[in-house]
Amino acid sequence: MDTETVQKHFKGVKELPTRAGFSANLMALCPAHDDHRASLSIDISADGTTLLCCQS
Per-residue pLDDT 10s for the chain (56 aa) are 888 999 999 999 999 998 888 889 999 999 999 999 999 999 999 888 999 999 99
For residue 9, the enclosing domain spans 3-54
Q: What is the pLDDT of residue 43?
A: 94
Residues found in the chain: 56
State the total domains in the chain. 1
Q: Give the number of C-alpha atoms closer than 13 A to the C-alpha of residue 36, restricted to the C-beta side.
A: 0
The structure's pTM equals 0.85
Which pLDDT score, from 0 to 100, does residue 55 have?
94
Classify 53 as helix, strand or coil. Answer: strand
3-state secondary structure 8-27: HHCCCCEECCCCCCEEEEEE
Which residues are bridge partners to 5 per DSSP?
none
Distances (CA, A) of 30 to 19, 21, 46: 21, 24, 23
